[in-house]
Structure 1
Amino acid sequence: MTTVILAEKPSQARSYVEALKNSTKKEGYFSVSDPVLANETFITYGFGHLVELATPEKYDQKYKRWSLSNLPIFPDKYKFIVPRDKKTQFKIVKDLLMKADTIIIATDSDREGENIAWSIMNQAKINLKSKTIKRLWINSLEKDAILNGFKNLKDAWNYYPAYQEAQTRQISDWLVGMNGSPLYTLLLRQSGVRGVYSIGRVQTPTLYMVYQRDQEIKNFKPEPYFEISAEIEANRQKFVAKLDPYQRFKDEESLTIYMEAKGLRTGFQEALTKDVLQETKRTASPRLFSLSSLQSAINKRYHASASDVLKAVQALYEAKLLTYPRTDCNYITDQEFSYLLSNLMGYLSLVSSQVSLNNTEANKRYVNSKKVQEHHAIIMTKTIPNKAKLAALPKLQQQVYGLVLRTTLAMFADPYEYEQTIIITEVGKANFKATGNVPIKQGWKLLFADDKDKNDETVVTLPKVTKNQKVQADLKTPQKETTPPVPFTEGTLITAMKTAGRTLDDEEAQSILKDVEGIGTEATRANVLEVLKKRGYLLSKKNQLHVSEQGITLCTAVELEPLLTSPEMTAKWELALKEISQKKRSQESFLIQIKKFVSKLVDEVPTQMKQSEGLSKQVKNQKIVEIQDRQQEAIGRCPLCKEGMIVDKGKFYGCTNYKAAVPCRFTLPKKWSEKTIGKTAIKALITKGESNRLKGFKSKKSGKKFDAKLKLEGSKLSFDFS
């Protein structure tokens, strides 16, 4: 009886091998043995996706060139292919799966892991019904977790709906991208805009959120307003109080009317302490981390990108220091709580703060098995590194591990306690409120004592006053201005994606939105941002995100199709996709809706873009920017056609008129006799016909180096030894 364990990638396979007693390395797989496994067992692996959706030209060569007449593209049956550079490994995997009696799916324990495994098995065309198929489902790559997982394998068919969900997401993204991208690109080209424009089911609404924020900032006009504040003096101590209930006044007239009605005037006047309230308050430690909340927190503290944070957490997972990273859950089960409790002193040795960990009973704020579906929150594993090992990690990995460590330990610490004093002072007929907070017990906050983003409540000490005590009030009416919205960061954008556009920075507020589905998934959001940055639509500077000129053009083009730009609509799609894995919806019914949406785009967008005044203005702006960019990049006027500009084309210098009605084919090499020709020399050649004497040419015959000038006659380049 042969058993084949299918891992997602080589590093994952090695983690399994290291947990087992015996192994022999083969080409593309391992032969292994261990008491937890059957006698003849092999571990093989993919390189992530060994199987991909075919591009349109694989269906019909007519799709090789984009044409509006070919849209929409709706294949009768979707083709999957193995990329050329992965064919060798695929054959190894296929041959092993063919001879297997039992297949253990051991890819990542998530939807995409299911997609990878089942896609490989389907592409291998093996008779799945003739095999016993099991599932390894683990949250850690530690030896104990792996061995325990192999002892308690699950029925893989129970996870098959998750594969159907992931594949449906893959196909729907293909349909939107393969139709939307050529549609908008070709229509923008008709408007005179160069380039290729990429459309995505998730990336487009994400980009549009940043665009809307940029537009709000750009169009923001500060509005003046007035406030009334009071500086209260009691027992020779001063403190500031705000109007209660707080309100602002848009002009001096409304301010004057209010002050006269309440018997107020600016300057000093008698007042009375109407009420004094004192209460001891407690603040619980932060919730445990999901991937999104960890990405947001690390970005806020250290300005790391969401993609870099994911890579860091993945590396710590593979190093067996943190649990599975791609989780959307903030809770753990009693099992995880138990091992954390057993190892508390070991974890505590890694932090410098002296903090008491007194809460040894599970608290439902953090420990709730009913809230854990696929994976629990990101926490430390049982493997506790020493300080030297931690110090040897890359800086971002240290920062990620440190924050997860402190946040997890915080649930065992006492609450942060502070005394809150509220003084209500009556001035005339108006009330003014002052709040003071004085720490009593730092509790869990001691773990974050060195954290520059600890966000401690400001310590405000108010004087000891009694009810109905006479005090002095100095009333002021400062004029202020409203402030513009804050630009997105990668952290706040990840949060906005998770909350479907509801930009809630507060963790507690997010937890209230129990039924909100975000756009994208924990596993894909970071990649969406990276794609938008690589395609030049999103620009990141000083941890702020803005949309590029090209991105503005795209957003202006798509904004007439709310279904394409709406985070709420995309979130509903995500909810519908999840229903597939819950067996509440079929793949076919979802794809029918996507096809209707794509058909609507193809039918309506051409007319919309022709009639859009906003797009016409943006196209003009885009053209101006493109001309300016070309002029800035240009080395000089082409000496041959006298119209185009000479620019750097990568491997050579060439004329920008190479695509003109009468094309100019003028080029100059970047290397000549093994010497790299710089832009200064090229500029001299095209303006004066010759360069200065240059050093470092190498003779092909003798191999000796020599100096010479370069001379340009027409389009012919030669040496000048004069």
Structure 2
Amino acid sequence: MPNYLILTEKPSAAANFVKALGGKNGQFDTFTYTITNLRGHVMTLKDPEEMVSEDLKKQYKSWLIKHLPWNLNDFNWARTYIRQRNLRTGKVASTKQLVDDLKKEAANGYDAIVIATDTDPSGEGELLAWEALEAIKWRGQVLRANFMDESVKGIQTSMQHLRDVSDKNQDGEYIKGESRNRWDFASMQLTRIATTAAKKQGFKVVAREGRLKSVIVWQIYAQLEAIKRYVKKPYFEVKFKDLAGHIFGRITPEGDVIPWRFDSKAVAQQDLLQYHESAVTNERYQTRTQAPGKLLDLAGLAAILAPRGFSAKEVLSTYQKMYEAQVVSYPRTEDKTVTPEQFNELLPKIDQIAQVVHVDTALLTHRQPRATHVKNQGAHGANRPGENVPTDLATLTKFGASAQAIYEVLAKNYLAMLAEDYVYDHVTANLTDYPIFKTAYNVPVQLNFKAVYDSQRAIKVDDDDETAVMGQLGPTAQPYLYEGANKKPQAPSTKWIMAFLEKHNVGTGATRVSTLSDMSRGTKAMIKETRGKLTLTETGNVSAVMVKGTWIASPKITKRLFEMMDQVGRFEMTMPKLLDSVTQVVVHDMPIMVANAEQLETLLGQPKIKPKRPVSEKTTGQFKGEEITFAKEWSGHVFTDEELTKLLNGAEISFEAKSKRGKLYTATGTMAKQTYKGRTFYGFKLKPKPKK
């Protein structure tokens, strides 16, 4: 009986495998096993200068534009351990220990290692597993468990259908993930170009550029500029209105010139004199139906929740935790439909889910698969509720601030598919004396799925009021002067940018959300997301100006890059050919970025001068037999000679100090060796307050 080491992506996944297989080790199906886990990526590509020969190191370390573009054939694409700083303690941790532990475990005579990382559309799960296997120099058999979710059934099914992927170069998902990883690494050149050129103009920011970041930041910048340039231009035209308020107007022709629309109110009033009250005629009612909207992806979900104050980062983080608990389905899916099997698995839980989100089950009468929503294709299936149904929404708060909202929207969106079509009367009419003046509106007959959830309306970007005027048509309509204006560009929002990326088919929903989250994170953030409204930071503005007219900011080019990466995964394109496209983009965009840099001050104004932090005066002395250097002041208090002597002797001192909020207090402490952001130093250390 073969003995397998099952390698999961993270501790939470390992726990789900333990639950599904009956223990951390044991026997399942026709093999024995032991379960272990990674913690995401454990290896990363080395810095450029560390992947080339000695004579090229200086060139590849340099950010000077004259050394670009790189010759990617110079790289050996070697990896190293990941080192990350703990923001709270300042200590740097490495993944080396985790890799060493895996290597030690793998030496226990296993017949094969089973890759049980996420089946990710980008190949990420495959890549991070192979990074670990290469790091421990595993040369034995490698099997792949592809699971659609981390449910007991999903895991067990995947372990009964293992694939041999021992030759990683024949593993399409690995090739796809590795090619994407190398492409993104090589695109670092664009960040170097943009940053170097901007700094020459006095803008000292790191202008992060990338295949989706640049598209997003440019679109936001362009939209904000369009709003700045907007000038309201009123216009006037004749329309008719009946007693109930139904509007009769002429169909606007294509083109800029509309003969019956006037810039001058006086001229329009003259035109109004040509018209008189007219009877309403040709009143027609046509009963129509509308099917439920499509199932939401992660981008649509984030767009809906953003106005409620939930950022992309919050939604992404909380959704992942909910997935690990099987409360919702796999987050990083490309699917927008579910398979018949997935539909049937969730069907027995429908009434239970409806009760949690307060949906009337009497509305859920369409419990047969809809051809528009259920198809014999796909993998993970669209985002939807998971197999573990909560007892109520309040129990979800442990996952994060947005958990209740995530589940409510996902559940209602899925349940809407099980309601009947919306039924409405489409009403049309025109005027007897002026037949070209027409009206059209809809009258609801049966809300059906719209009484559950209307995803189309939820993700709609336009703010236009769609409220239909009710009441009896006619019998006559009076002419009046209508005043309108050219439409003001909409303020950039999460919903707006997600709709743009969806329209141009750029990236998966999960990729869009994770990129937006990354762009708004940390001190080098490019955007600010406030209740769904998007603005740019100084870094974002510089990054945007730098990519005007470039390929890297083109949605068309970016879409093609995603397509090419998929082709590599299907062995329809080689990795070298894909990577050639990086060089083509760099060669094309470099002169454009250099020229754009010269426009930075004109477009953005003078660069901000960042105040230099005052440097504390240092002093030296003997402390515990060692000569040390330390600051002569602490929190604005300059130590007296007597205090310095006590500190060096290890004695405790006290003095009046002021907190960051300006509150006076007595600071008590001693000299101590300390660490901050990985740097060791000596200085005064405040004695913690005694616990009450």
How far apart, CA to CA, are the structure 1 residues paired with 2:665 and 2:313?
45
Match of 2:249 in 1: 243
How far apart, CA to CA, are the structure 2 residues paired with 1:139 and 1:245?
50
Q: Is the alpha carbon distance of 1:700 and 1:342 closer, same or farther for their aligned partners in structure 2, counting shifts above 3 Å?
A: closer
Matched, 1:304 2:313: no
Match of 2:129 in 1: 117
What SS does structure 2 have at the residue aligned with 1:287? coil
What SS does structure 2 have at the residue aligned with 1:491? helix
Q: Is the alpha carbon distance of 1:648 and 1:463 closer, same or farther for their aligned partners in structure 2, counting shifts above 3 Å?
A: farther
Residue 160 of structure 1 aligns with an amino acid whose one-letter code is D
Match of 1:58 in 2: 50
TM-score, with structure 2 as normaliser: 0.80
In 2, are the aligned partners of 1:202 and 1:528 still within 8 Å (CA)? yes
How far apart, CA to CA, are the structure 2 residues paired with 1:674 and 1:38?
67
What SS does structure 2 have at the residue aligned with 1:227? strand
How far apart, CA to CA, are the structure 2 residues paired with 1:315 and 1:675?
47
Match of 2:565 in 1: 577
Matched, 1:138 2:147: yes
In 2, are the aligned partners of 1:8 and 1:46 still within 8 Å (CA)? yes
Q: Is the alpha carbon distance of 1:405 and 1:542 closer, same or farther for their aligned partners in structure 2, counting shifts above 3 Å?
A: closer
Residue 386 of structure 1 aligns with an amino acid whose one-letter code is T
Residue 8 of structure 2 aligns with an amino acid whose one-letter code is A
Counterpart of 2:29 (choices 32, 36, 51) is 36
Matched, 1:87 2:57: no
Range with bigger deviation, 164-173 or 446-455: 446-455
How far residue 252 of structure 1 moved from its aligned partner, in angstroms, is 5.0
Counterpart of 2:538 (choices 549, 565, 589) is 549
Counterpart of 1:536 (choices 525, 530, 535) is 525
Q: Is the alpha carbon distance of 1:303 and 1:698 closer, same or farther for their aligned partners in structure 2, counting shifts above 3 Å?
A: closer
Match of 2:172 in 1: 161
Matched, 1:270 2:277: yes
Match of 1:443 in 2: 448
Matched, 1:490 2:490: no
What SS does structure 1 have at the residue aligned with 2:292? coil
What SS does structure 1 have at the residue aligned with 2:205? coil
Matched, 1:196 2:201: no
Q: Is the alpha carbon distance of 1:677 and 1:412 closer, same or farther for their aligned partners in structure 2, counting shifts above 3 Å?
A: same
How far apart, CA to CA, are the structure 1 residues paired with 2:110 and 2:273?
89
TM-score, with structure 1 as normaliser: 0.77
Match of 1:661 in 2: none
What SS does structure 1 have at the residue aligned with 2:418? coil
Counterpart of 2:392 (choices 387, 390, 406) is 387
How far apart, CA to CA, are the structure 1 residues paired with 2:566 and 2:660?
59
How far residue 193 of structure 1 moved from its aligned partner, in angstroms, is 2.3
How far residue 361 of structure 1 moved from its aligned partner, in angstroms, is 2.0
Q: Is the alpha carbon distance of 1:556 and 1:607 closer, same or farther for their aligned partners in structure 2, counting shifts above 3 Å?
A: closer
In 1, are the aligned partners of 2:294 and 2:336 still within 8 Å (CA)? yes
In 2, are the aligned partners of 1:271 and 1:472 still within 8 Å (CA)? yes
Range with bigger deviation, 353-362 or 311-320: 353-362
How far apart, CA to CA, are the structure 2 residues paired with 1:454 and 1:589?
38
Q: Is the alpha carbon distance of 1:676 and 1:134 closer, same or farther for their aligned partners in structure 2, counting shifts above 3 Å?
A: farther
Deviations 1:361-399 (A, max 9, x none): 2111100113x1x32111223332212764554441111
Q: Give runs of aligned pairs for residues 558-577 of structure 1, distance below 5 A.
A: 558-560=547-549, 562-577=550-565
Residue 148 of structure 1 aligns with an amino acid whose one-letter code is T
How far apart, CA to CA, are the structure 2 residues paired with 1:198 and 1:451?
34
Q: Give runs of aligned pairs for residues 514-529 of structure 1, distance below 5 A.
A: 517-518=505-506, 520-529=507-516
Q: Is the alpha carbon distance of 1:298 and 1:36 closer, same or farther for their aligned partners in structure 2, counting shifts above 3 Å?
A: farther
How many positions carry a matched residue from both structures? 609
In 1, are the aligned partners of 2:3 and 2:110 still within 8 Å (CA)? yes
What SS does structure 2 have at the residue aligned with 1:147? helix
Range with bigger deviation, 270-279 or 326-335: 270-279
Q: Give runs of aligned pairs for residues 557-636 of structure 1, distance below 5 A.
A: 557-560=546-549, 562-602=550-590, 604-605=591-592, 608-609=595-596, 612=598, 614-618=599-603, 621-623=605-607, 626-627=608-609, 630=611
Deviations 1:300-332 (A, max 9, x none): 5x2422222222221111111111111121111
Match of 2:678 in 1: none
In 2, are the aligned partners of 1:97 and 1:121 still within 8 Å (CA)? no
Q: Is the alpha carbon distance of 1:253 and 1:153 closer, same or farther for their aligned partners in structure 2, counting shifts above 3 Å?
A: same
How far apart, CA to CA, are the structure 1 residues paired with 2:670 and 2:348?
73
Counterpart of 1:330 (choices 329, 336, 358) is 336
Match of 1:78 in 2: 77
Match of 1:351 in 2: 357
What SS does structure 1 have at the residue aligned with 2:4? strand
How far apart, CA to CA, are the structure 2 residues paired with 1:50 and 1:526?
23
In 2, are the aligned partners of 1:550 and 1:622 still within 8 Å (CA)? no
How far residue 90 of structure 1 moved from its aligned partner, in angstroms, is 0.8
Range with bigger deviation, 406-415 or 192-201: 192-201
How far apart, CA to CA, are the structure 2 residues paired with 1:206 and 1:410?
31
How far residue 606 of structure 1 moved from its aligned partner, in angstroms, is 7.3
Q: Is the alpha carbon distance of 1:361 and 1:112 closer, same or farther for their aligned partners in structure 2, counting shifts above 3 Å?
A: same
Deviations 1:13-71 (A, max 9, x none): 11111222233xxxxxxxx11433612x1111111001111112423653555434443
Q: Is the alpha carbon distance of 1:215 and 1:103 closer, same or farther for their aligned partners in structure 2, counting shifts above 3 Å?
A: same
In 2, are the aligned partners of 1:162 and 1:580 still within 8 Å (CA)? no
How far apart, CA to CA, are the structure 2 residues paired with 1:483 and 1:606?
32
How far apart, CA to CA, are the structure 2 residues paired with 1:667 and 1:528?
45
Q: Is the alpha carbon distance of 1:679 and 1:353 closer, same or farther for their aligned partners in structure 2, counting shifts above 3 Å?
A: closer
How far residue 492 of structure 1 moved from its aligned partner, in angstroms, is 2.4
In 2, are the aligned partners of 1:4 and 1:44 still within 8 Å (CA)? yes
In 2, are the aligned partners of 1:490 and 1:544 still within 8 Å (CA)? yes
In 2, are the aligned partners of 1:332 and 1:377 still within 8 Å (CA)? yes
Q: Is the alpha carbon distance of 1:700 and 1:276 closer, same or farther for their aligned partners in structure 2, counting shifts above 3 Å?
A: closer
Deviations 1:518-576 (A, max 9, x none): 1x44443223223322323212234211223332233223325x212211111111111
Match of 2:666 in 1: 696
Matched, 1:425 2:434: no
| Structure 1 unaligned residues grouped into runs of 5+ | 24-31, 466-470, 501-516, 631-644, 655-665, 683-692, 702-722
How far apart, CA to CA, are the structure 1 residues paired with 2:654 and 2:498?
49
How far apart, CA to CA, are the structure 2 residues paired with 1:681 and 1:135?
56
Residue 78 of structure 1 aligns with an amino acid whose one-letter code is W
Residue 566 of structure 1 aligns with an amino acid whose one-letter code is S
Match of 1:218 in 2: 228
How far apart, CA to CA, are the structure 1 residues paired with 2:341 and 2:284?
43
Residue 575 of structure 1 aligns with an amino acid whose one-letter code is E
Q: Give runs of aligned pairs for residues 16-27 of structure 1, distance below 5 A.
A: 16-23=17-24
Percent of pairs identical after alignment?
21
Matched, 1:364 2:371: yes
How far apart, CA to CA, are the structure 1 residues paired with 2:354 and 2:669?
68
In 1, are the aligned partners of 2:413 and 2:454 still within 8 Å (CA)? no
Residue 171 of structure 1 aligns with an amino acid whose one-letter code is R
How far apart, CA to CA, are the structure 1 residues paired with 2:617 and 2:247?
68
Match of 1:232 in 2: 242
In 1, are the aligned partners of 2:214 and 2:552 still within 8 Å (CA)? yes
In 2, are the aligned partners of 1:210 and 1:546 still within 8 Å (CA)? yes
Between 1 and 2, higher relative CO (CA 8 Å, sep ≥ 6) is seen in 2
Q: Is the alpha carbon distance of 1:564 and 1:436 closer, same or farther for their aligned partners in structure 2, counting shifts above 3 Å?
A: closer
Q: Is the alpha carbon distance of 1:22 and 1:544 closer, same or farther for their aligned partners in structure 2, counting shifts above 3 Å?
A: closer
Q: Is the alpha carbon distance of 1:124 and 1:616 closer, same or farther for their aligned partners in structure 2, counting shifts above 3 Å?
A: same
What SS does structure 2 have at the residue aligned with 1:588? helix
In 1, are the aligned partners of 2:145 and 2:162 still within 8 Å (CA)? yes
